[in-house]
Amino acid sequence: MVRTTVSLSELPEGSTATIRDIDSLSPTSQRLLDMGFVPGTSIRAVKKAPMGDPTTFEIRGYQVGLRRSESSLIDVEINPDDR
Amino acid sequence: MTGKIQRSVYLVGNPNSGKTSLFNAMTGERRRVGNWPGVTVQKLEGITNTDLATLTICDLPGTYSLTPATPEEEVVLKTIDEAATGCIVNVVDIANFERNLFLTTQLIELGIRPVVSLNCFDSFTKAGGTIDLQKFSAYTCTTPFPTVARTGEGTKNLVEFIGQNAAGISSDAGNWLSLPSIWLDATEQALKSKGLRWDSATATQRYAALSDLIRLHPAQIIPELIEIRQNLAKKLSEGRERPVKTTDLACELASDRYRRIEKLIAACAVVPGKNIPAWQEKLDRVLTHRFFGLPMFALMMAWIFWTTFSVGEIPMGWMHSLVEALSDFVQANMQESLIKEMLVGGVISGVGGVIIFIPNILILFFWIAILEDSGYMSRAAFIMDKMMNSIGLHGRAFIPMIMGLGCNVPAVLATRIIDNRFQRLLTMLLIPLVTCAARLPVLVLLCGTFFPENPSMWMFSLFFVNLLVLIFLGQFISVIFKTTENSPFLLEMPPYRLPTPSSVFHMLYEKGAHFVEKAGTVILAGAIIIWVLSVFPREVPLSCDYEMQLTQLRSQEATDEVTAKIADLSHKRDIELLEGRYMARLGKFMHPVMAPLGFSWRETVSLIPGFLAKESVVSTLAVLYLPYSEHTGDAMRKTGMTPLTAFVFMTFTLLYIPCIATLGVMWRESGSTRFTVLCLVAYFAIAYGVSYVTLKIGTVLQGSSGMAWFEGMVIITVSLFAGWYLLKTFIVTISGSKCNSCASCNSCPTKSKQDCSGGCP
């Protein structure tokens, strides 16, 4: 199976993915980790805001809005059925 | 009360987990509760009694993690040691179990055994969730209590338990959430390098050691810990495909915590498969729609303004006749004296002139409460973020801004939810430009008088002018300081909830009481001072002997002509008297400054008490215009105020210096006198400039017709934009270019990439 990782900011609306990696150098990362954005977690892009940014994601049963600058710190693997 | 145990109880938990609701349910207080994160920005304290103990309950700001990202979250970490000596109640929103248990895990790792309030238990069971409380208690060594803080269910048991027992259970064997030995060993070593031991270290010291271990940024790593970190990474790598690097430690720890949480939940609870009901997503799809989201938001705002003004006019009329009736009653039933004069001319007309706006304020807050409680406020921040970002603000800044509509003081406090200091100061600077409820009376009075055909439209246009100023200033400052550096944007979307009547009522009660209190104190004092200034000195040299003429007229037969003459004469006398008083002298002394804006000395004077409280502008006007007419609006029109001057005056009132309370909090929150003084000067200059430009535009619009005014309008608009653009380009040119000024900016070779997104080539 070929694994395709993309940045979370490129995850299309409505599709589900699994978190693979998170940029450890950004100061934002600690907060993202604490909120449950850890590798192996499943995540879904719910909705983009009217002007394309930010985007709401659903993770661990709650919804959170992230800007492109935050979501680009996270690498995800899009689930096969959604590709 | 002697013999009872005194105990301090601290509520900690995620934002929007229901801490403040629980606080209210436990203490019977009426604190503001909203359905969006960050409503509590300071510690709140309340007292409750059980049979055995007196509990002092302290509501701490919500935080996702002990690692602070904002100043308000720091409060929690700073209080932890103090809290560990009392009793910590960890409020866990069970409908959002995993993420809420993260904070619980952190507390347990540090050796704290909180009492766990499993909140929102009703929606959890309703969605099909079950939990084995005995197992949960056994695996976490804590005492769980299912609660529904909104209705108060379960809180009685919780309070009684805290009253009976000392903090938590101390037995620690087999706790599923505590730190695994690999991590514990490393933390112990880290503590040892500081000369501390795990057993005797405080929670804060343990926390500091652990967080030093997992620091992400290379520059922050403490040299003594490098070896410990490498050993830790090596140990964690055992049996893995991919070796763990030291930079992965933070990620490893978070993953480990979530693994422990998942294991715990799997062992003792059945969590409903889908937490967010389908209808909520459908509603979200409509409310944050790509094309309709923003127009709907604008419509909602317009609706709020319309009801505040047009619908509010009806009860306002009632209040008005009530105040008039009171005034007439005093007039008719009291002996002629200075006290009576003060009651009628100072207290009733001054305070009454402000109190009649209660309906408008209540309507405004009714809608704000609905928006907050329903969960729409977070969606509004979500759809507004891009726009807020373009004026250099964080989407979160939208929340204080909206709060500013009510009162600027809590809005300034609410800027604590923004973690970046510059962003915080910028938001603070812009907040006084948001029209607070106290400025509403001026708008309602003048719009109603001078634009009777369509007052809400004019009011809206004033808000629009205000908004433009706000945007321009925000842009301007962002450009000067060339910072588009943003704090992390993490905006939780709470589930939609039906606002409860009691919560809405609490908000209305709180705001109404606040307003009445202000009217009874600051405004009362202001009104009396103004009254004193406007009736003293008692003896004023008059141009002719009015009393003698009046006596002569009164002795004549009371024909219509004579009555009219009497009225005319006493009116002239009153005006002449007023102009000889201290107030008029003060006004005339300051008048030259404001004259270019077309204000009379009365308006000039009314702006001074406006510094104490903005509502006083109207009460002062009411006192000053009393000799002309009972109805302030009519009086203003009679003395020659035009709709244009009224508009300019409103613009000025909206923009000029904030009230003393707002300035006070700004000074305290910014911790900088220079910043506060600069703001003060800036507001005045801006208000003056904008009002002047508005006056000129208005004059052009009025003075000519057809193409001429259109041309004038175009010229002014174009020159405004051109001026602003030139200034902007000029600044960009002299200050280098605009870049993201990210962390690596100092070493950035180009400083020109507009979108380097944190990494420079």
What does the pLDDT look like over A32-65, one tens digit per residue?
999 999 999 999 999 898 888 889 999 998 999 9
Q: Do B99 and A62 touch (CB under 8 A)?
A: yes
Whether A64 sits inside 8 A of B491 (CB atoms) is yes
Contact A54 B248 (CB under 8 A): no
Superfamily of domain covering B5-164: P-loop containing nucleotide triphosphate hydrolases (3.40.50.300)
Q: Give me the pLDDT at residue B187, please.
A: 92
Tell me the residues of chain B between 482 and 541 that have a Cβ less than 8 Å away from chain A: 486, 488-493
Please tell me which residue of chain A has the smallest CA distance to B65.
A34
The partner residues of B11 in beta bridges, in order of sequence, read: B59, B89
The helix/strand/coil state of B233 is helix
Read off the amino acid at residue B596: P
Q: Is B298 on the interface with A (CB under 8 A)?
A: no
B8 touches chain A (CB under 8 A): no
* Partner residue facing B65 (CB), from A34, A54, A69: A34
- Give the per-residue pLDDT at A38: 94
pLDDT, tens only, B149-202: 888 888 888 988 888 875 544 556 678 888 898 999 999 999 998 889 988 888
Q: Quick one: pLDDT at residue A17? A: 94
Q: What is the pLDDT of residue B756?
A: 44
CB within 8 Å: B96 and A62: yes
Instruction: Write down the pLDDT at residue B739.
Output: 45
- Contact at CB, B102 and A35, closer than 8 angstroms: yes
- For residue B537, whether the previous peptide bond is cis, meaning omega lies within 30 degrees of 0, is yes
Per-residue pLDDT, B740: 43
Best A56, A68, A72 member to test B by mutation, with max B CBs in 10 Å, is A56
Nearest chain B Cα to A67, which residue?
Answer: B489
List the single residue in B255, B276, B381 with the smallest CB-CB distance to A63: B276
Tell me the chain B residues in contact with residue A38 when contact means C-beta distances shorter than 8 Å: 251, 254-255, 258
- Beta strands B44-49 and B53-59, pairing class: antiparallel
The kind and range of the H/E element at B54 are strand B53-59
Cβ distance A75 to B291 under 8 Å? no
State residue B738's pLDDT score.
43
Closest CA to B69 of B493, B384, B489, B665: B489
**Chain B residues whose beta carbon lies within 8 Å of the beta carbon of residue A49:** 288, 293, 382-383, 385-386
- Compute the distance between CA of residue A69 and CA of residue B747 in angstroms, rounded to an integer: 21
Contacts of A57 in chain B (CB under 8 A): none
Q: Which of B102, B220, B251 is the best substitution to test chain A (most A C-beta atoms within 10 A)?
A: B251
pLDDT computed for residue B98 by the predictor: 92
Distance CA A72, CA A9 (A): 5
Q: Which two tokens stand for residue B746?
A: 């100092």
The parent domain of residue A27 ranges over 5-82
Of B254, B378, B493, the CB nearest to A38: B254
Give the domain CATH number at A32: 2.30.30.90
Query: Which positions in chain B touch A26 (Cβ < 8 Å)?
Result: 216, 758
User: By the 8 A CB rule, do B21 and B152 touch?
Assistant: no
Q: Is B99 on the interface with A (CB under 8 A)?
A: yes
Whether residue B758 and residue A26 make contact (CB cut-off 8 A), yes or no, is: yes
Q: B388: phi > 0 → left, psi -120 to 50 → alpha, else beta; which?
A: alpha
Q: Which residues of chain B fall short of a pLDDT of 50?
A: 1, 168-169, 484, 486, 736-761
Interface contact B215, partner A, CB < 8 A = no
Query: Which amino acid, one-letter code, is at B666?
Result: M
* Residue of B77, B270, B382 to mutate, testing the A interface (most A Cβ within 10 Å of its Cβ): B382
Whether residues B288 and A50 touch (CB distance < 8 A) is answered with yes
Tally Cβ neighbours within 10 Å of residue A41.
19
CA–CA min distance A64, chain B (Å): 4
- DSSP run (H or E) holding B13: strand B5-13
- Could you tell me if B546 and B577 are in contact, meaning their C-beta atoms sit under 8 angstroms apart? no
Amino acid identity at B239: G
Q: Do B290 and A58 touch (CB under 8 A)?
A: no
The ipTM (two decimal places) reads 0.94
Separation between Cα atoms, residue B293 and residue B288, nearest integer Å: 4
Residues of chain A with C-beta less than 8 angstroms from the C-beta of B382: 49, 54, 56, 65
Please report residues of A whose CB lies closer than 8 A to that of B254.
33-34, 38
- What pLDDT is stored for residue B199 in this prediction? 87
* Chain A nearest C-alpha distance from B275 (Å): 6
3-state secondary structure B574-634: HHHHHHHCHHHHHHHHHHHHHHHHCCCHHHHHHHCHHHCCCCHHHHHHHHHCCCCCCCHHH
Q: Residue ranges per domain, chain B?
A: 5-164, 181-270
**B715 and chain A in contact, CB less than 8 A:** no
Q: Which of B42, B37, B15, B11 is nearest to B669 (CA)?
A: B42
